[in-house]
Amino acid sequence: MRTAILRLLLALVLALALAAPVLAWESRVKSVRDGDSINVLNSEGVVVNIRLYGIDAPELKQAFGFQAKKKLSQLVSRKNVQIENVDTDRYGRTVALVRLDNGALVNEEMVRAGLAWVYTQYCLREDICASLRQAEAEAKSAGRGLWAESSPTPPWEWRREHKTEEWYKAPVRAMKTIVHKIKVIIH
Among candidate residues 93, 99, 108, 136, the one labeled active-site is 93
Active site residue 157: no
Annotated active-site residue 93? The verdict is yes
Q: Give me the catalytic one of 44, 59, 99, 157.
A: 59
Q: Do 50 and 93 contact (CB within 8 A), yes or no?
A: yes
Would you say 68 and 34 are in contact if contact means Cβ atoms under 8 Å apart?
Answer: yes
51 is catalytic: yes
Of 2, 26, 33, 51, the catalytic one is 51
Output the CA torsion 34→106→101→89 (10° steps). Answer: -70
Enumerate the active-site residues.
51, 59, 93
